[in-house]
A and B are shown apart, each in its own frame.
Chain A
Amino acid sequence: MFSNILIWFVVIPLLMLAGLALCRDIKQIRAVAVAGSTALVALSVKLLVDYLALRAAGATAPMLFTDSWVWFAPLHINLAVGVDGISVAMILLSSIIVFAGSFASWTIPQPKAFFLWLILLSTGVFGFFISIDLFTMFMFYEVALIPMYLLIGVWGSGRKEYSAMKLTLMLMGGSAFLMLGLIGIYYHSAPAGQPLTWNILEIVRNGAISHDWQCFLFPMTFVGFGVLGAMFPFHTWSPDGHASAPTAVSMLHAGVLMKLGGYGCFRVAIYLMPQAANELAWIFLILTGISVVYGAFSACVQTDLKYINAYSSVSHCGLVLFAILMLNTTAMTGAIMQMLSHGLMTALFFALIGMIYGRTHTRDITKMGGLMRIMPYLSVCYVIAGMASLGLPGLSGFVAEMTIFVGSFQHADMFHRVFTIVACCSIVITAVYILRVVGKLLFGPVQDPHHLELTDATWWERFSTVTLIVCVAAIGCFPNFFNNLIRFTFSPDIFAVIGMN
């Protein structure tokens, strides 16, 4: 069992949990967190290298490193694992954000409990990305959601109990749909007379879900995952949740957890129900198209840094789902690039906001100003994050957005092209709210004389931000590497729906 590299992505966090339980002081906790997250980064890099080597050697299976261990035979529940380029990219993203997040929570109060929950959350995230069995996938999904309640409720700020409750309940509501959908899929996973299965690859191979059932199950699963992907109108947990969450949790949540939504949408909803996806995509396309523009407009008037970013996430994650629903290779590749890009730059944003908030004790942009003079390092990082967000070439946002726009515009249908133009408008609105924040927060005269005594970033803060910036720039400068990594999965051979239009 342990010869499979994938299982280690769950084992390492579990070992970290055990290690944390034994820790006595903050130094030991930090040591465990840093050692563990470094190991995860190293492991995901190794996974990437191994994966590319296998593909270069000519492996053509949709998923590599597949393995399956029986868990509960009567219901055909297995722990089945396997990855393709997209999962590899997502695992890499998660490990980098966990790594950066550990440094960003260097001085958190009650560190032991905090890290315990945080690592449990990441166990769920990694487990989700390596699973190809719907049941275990769902289990890991829930494991990732529950700790969020405590992390926000205990370590948060502002209306934290309210936000934690709201976030958890809304996501649980989504899970209810999802569970219904998954059970439905299970009962139609095989032709009559054959054993049922939860395994995604087998379900696709069987192709036994009838058209009518697809039309019922597709919306169920899409909405279920879509809630986590901040799809309009189920996005309102995001502003409150992010605003109340502590730094590392916001980073992980916006950076990785929201990606679970987008990932689930294409891996489960679209992959397993291609005909329904092809017929019903337009409904969700309208909703996500609204998300993109609506989130951006809402961000323009917010004054709380975290609200601005949360609405910006609604807009950017809306673009992810929007592109997934275009159902062609380029746009879907763009969606995954956008997930990576958004994950990294939002994590960077939330890290910086946390660092600024830790110093000024306010997130209200009308009460701050001229921070460039006071904390130049953090301010420059903020400008870089902003530039990535508004799509400056050379940083990740540009390549992701352009892949999406070009891909979506290749759609043969006029309706889709017109909607692409609507989505394109977001690049202007994004520039407006980013520059508004940058102008008010960083430039101009210093608003509050007390801020003059504040200090710039510490070494662990620098480390955390530099890691993220390097990754953002790497995607922005060498996009074709990631493009090729992702695009393999979105071929008509593997994704039946792409061949349909």
Chain B
Amino acid sequence: MDATLPILILAIPLGMFFVLGLAGVKMSHRLAGILGCLGMGTTLVLAYTTAFTYFFSGSPEFVDAAGNRLQALIFDQTWLAFTDKLVIRIGFLLDPISAMMLVVITTISFMVHLYSMGYMRDHHGVWERGFQRFYAFLSLFSFSMLGLVVATNIFQMYIFWELVGASSYLLIGFYFIKPSAVSASKKAFIVTRFADLGFLIGILILSFYTGTFNFTELTSAPVEGLAGVFSVSETTAESVRSIFRSSAAPVFLGGSVLTWALVLIFMGGMGKSALLPLHIWLPDAMEGPTPVSALIHAATMVVAGVYLVARLFPLYLMEVTALEIVTWVGAITALYAAIVACTQIDIKRVLAFSTISQIAFMVVSLGVARPEVHEGLGYMASMFHLFTHAMFKALLFLGAGALIHAIGSNDYTAMHGLRKYMPVTHWTFLIGCLAIAGIIPFSGFFSKDEILSSCLGNSTLVYIWMSAVAGLTAFYMFRLYYLIFWWKEHKVHEGHHAPHDQPWTMTLPLVILAAVSCVAGFIPFGNFVTWNGAPYDFMAHFDWSVAAVSLCVALAAIGLATVMYRKENPLPEKFRAAMPALWTWAHHRFYWDELYMFITHRIIFNGICRPIAWFDRHIIDGTMDAFATVTNKASQAIKPLQSGQVQLYVWWYLLGALALGGITMLCLL
């Protein structure tokens, strides 16, 4: 495939960042917004074309004779050569998951660009301050995210991984006058940086033993006769493992070095994907403007961790211990976040915890995926859920943004009964809720059902666990839905405008995403994305009993939510009173933030940094000063000897002469 389109996909958002970043202040708000949308729109068209070509052209570089999808290196430029073998390249790898991610990122990004044209103005049409900057950062983010998914080697991924982190930092802290936004952005950056340390060490270990950064050398084998075309190969992963097994690679704390490397790399993913215990930054990240939350903290950046594991999946398959860790980190996170989501008041925080929980679903799905279980269904299910989740979660966030824009508050207590005033928002939000709850025929049903089937194939415990979490998901989403749109009637105060639906720039993305959420479930995903590129008919793996159970669980949970929250009633209070400890702990997010505050402030800041700074000033520098002081004192002490009085000198002379004479005599005797 010609490299022009792929290069443009990366170059346009980057160029837009520079144009808007450098010349933005000189532009009118509207022009900046339109430029941003045009740029992203063009990228969207190019990305769709590329993905369409990849999936449907049937060209031999994309699909082999047996119908297996291949990996195509569109271009791969040397960027920095550390050694002959360890080279960072910047390139473009087109394969099923990167093509799918191109579609997801550009779609959501374009929707958010469009939506922000309406969102970033107040009701009188006054543009938000720093609007141009906002669009510049959005472009920077889109560039970084696109660069991340098309990475041809793990170091390119790390580079863009850092860049998405920085753009996320800039966008969370967009309202930099607000101290809460500043500390939220700082927290997000530092927590993910800490995770990235693990990622970096993982890369170092992996590259030390294997001598390469390239995905194509770690997980795939070249296809004969075609330059730059590869297919996913277990044999390559096997040989990577044998390097670790055969070399003098030591066993460290019971795990092989490869396991450790993979777990450390996954640690990077845990940071970005907000998995326990590195999840604490994501709820705070909701300080950013809501479209940013939809784009970065729901649909794209936070799934980078899932994408990372998927990218290295053949290697993870080689070390089942690592996959077990992935599974359980995911499972615990999913349950934790679902419980917390049931008790939050801020609607964006409910959605944030819901995101954490749903990402954990994808992670679990990868963790339980095995080639022998439904031909690696879990991998496909994970990617499918990533796709559907991106659509409906972006929809929910944009819907929440519309509510916040209309009401001017993040708390559902300020909303209640809005369905009559904001019908479009109401219906689209309901579709989002149905999709995430897993009600047939909305998209979430299909992806979640496959995840559960896959779990069942691996371990009954995980299956039951995740089914329960799926039930909780339906419950907290409908709790949120009822509390926003039903509960008690909203009274419009005298002199206030009634809340109303939004301008078309905001409505259109909602409607489009709602439509996608309705139909995306019917995409035959198994034909497009599988772990080894071999297509299969997922209906053949469709487990009707699992589907029936999960549907029943979801409906029951929705029923419960309806009883409790449709109308104002004392039931929620009773529930709360029945288990006060659980409620308080969940409401305070199980005190993770407090724990982190304790560790960072009390232990690290006061226990390490301050003593070191004190030590430096008083001990090290004190020693240096002491040299000076001693020299000074010594010279002061011997100064009287140089008094200038000749009599004294004569005395010293005589004493000296006598002493010398005496010593000489003694020696001679």
Binding site for B on A (CB under 8 A): 166, 169-170, 232-233, 235-237, 294, 297-298, 300-302, 329-330, 370, 372-373, 387, 390-394, 398-399, 402-403, 405-407, 409-410, 417, 420-421, 424-425, 427-428, 431-432, 435-436, 439, 442-445, 479-480, 483
Contact = CB atoms under 8 A, between A and B. Distances in A.
Given A442-B176, A444-B179, 17 more contacts: A166-B624, A232-B620, A237-B624, A298-B616, A301-B610, A330-B82, A373-B177, A392-B162, A403-B82, A405-B200, A410-B208, A435-B169, A435-B186, A439-B183, A443-B176, A444-B182, A479-B79
Interface string B597-616: 00000000100111011001
Contacts of A373: 177
Contacts of B207: 406, 409
Given A330-B82, A406-B82, A410-B208, A236 B186 contact: no
Contacts of A232: 620
B186 A392 contact: no
A294 B159 CA distance: 26
B5 interface: no
A236 B80 contact: no
A445 B179 contact: yes
B201 A483 contact: no
Contacts of A237: 624
A298 B160 CA distance: 30
Contacts of A445: 177, 179
Given A170-B624, A398-B162, A431 B189 contact: yes
Interface stretch (B190-198, B283-291, B493-501, B503-511): B190-198
A479 B177 CA distance: 36
12 contacts: A294-B616, A330-B83, A372-B176, A393-B160, A409-B204, A409-B205, A427-B193, A427-B197, A428-B194, A428-B197, A435-B190, A439-B182
A480 B90 CA distance: 12
B613 A436 contact: no
A111 B176 CA distance: 39
A410 B83 contact: yes
Contact of A417 (B82, B160, B162, B208): B208
Contacts of A436: 186
B81 A483 contact: yes
B543 interface: no
A198 B628 CA distance: 33
A209 to B, nearest CB: 30
B166 interface: yes
Nearest to A333: B82
Nearest to B86: A406
A301 B605 contact: yes
Interface string B157-186: 001101100100100010011110011011
B193 A431 contact: yes
Given A405-B204, A407-B82, A428 B605 contact: no
Contacts of B178: 444
A425 B194 CA distance: 9
Given A298-B613, A431-B190, A439-B186, A424 B80 contact: no
Q: Which 9 A-B pairs have the closest CB atoms?
A: A443-B176, A236-B621, A393-B159, A300-B609, A443-B182, A409-B204, A431-B193, A479-B80, A297-B612
Nearest to B610: A301
Contacts of A294: 612, 616
B78 interface: yes
Is chain B's interface secondary structure helix, strand, loop, or mixed overall? helix
Contacts of A170: 624
A298 B197 contact: no
Nearest to A432: B190
Nearest to A232: B620
Contacts of A330: 82-83, 86
Nearest to B192: A431
A402 B163 CA distance: 15
Main SS at interface, chain A: helix
A479 B162 CA distance: 17
A424 B200 contact: yes
Given A170-B624, A330-B83, A417-B208, A428 B613 contact: no
Contacts of A410: 82-83, 86, 208
Contacts of A169: 628
Given A297-B608, A297-B612, A420 B182 contact: no
Contacts of A391: 162
A446 B178 CA distance: 11
Nearest to A170: B624
Contacts of A370: 177
A232, A372, A406, A432: residue with the most chain B Cβ atoms closer than 10 Å: A406
Interface string B204-235: 11011000000000000000000000000000
A441 to B, nearest CB: 11
Contact of B190 (A302, A399, A428): A428
Contacts of B155: 402
Contact of B80 (A301, A420, A483): A483
A301 B616 CA distance: 12
Nearest to A436: B186
B77 to A, nearest CB: 10
B163 A480 contact: no
B179 A425 contact: no
Nearest to B187: A435
A233 B183 CA distance: 34
Interface string B140-166: 000000000000000100011011001
B616 A403 contact: no
Contacts of B78: 480
B544 to A, nearest CB: 48
Nearest to A482: B80
A442 B173 CA distance: 12
B176 A399 contact: no
B613 A302 contact: yes
Nearest to B186: A435
Nearest to B159: A393
A347 B388 CA distance: 49
Nearest to A376: B25
Interface string B11-37: 000000000000000000000000000
B86 A236 contact: no
B351 to A, nearest CB: 25
Contacts of A392: 162-163, 166
B563 to A, nearest CB: 46
A391 B621 CA distance: 29
Interface in B86-113: 86, 88
A373 to B, nearest CB: 7
Nearest to A334: B82
Contacts of A398: 159, 162
Contacts of A435: 169, 186, 189-190
A295 B621 CA distance: 14
Contacts of B193: 390, 427-428, 431
A139 B63 CA distance: 69
A417 B620 CA distance: 28
Nearest to B166: A392
A205 B246 CA distance: 42
A443 B177 CA distance: 6
B620 A236 contact: yes
B132 to A, nearest CB: 12
Contact of B163 (A372, A394, A427): A394
Contacts of B609: 297-298, 300-301
Nearest to A480: B80
A404 B208 CA distance: 14
A424 B83 contact: no
A236 B616 contact: yes
B79 A480 contact: yes
Contact of A425 (B81, B197, B616): B197
B200 A403 contact: no
Interface in B613-656: 613, 616, 620-621, 623-624, 628
Contacts of B623: 233
A450 B645 CA distance: 62
Contacts of B204: 405-406, 409, 420-421, 424
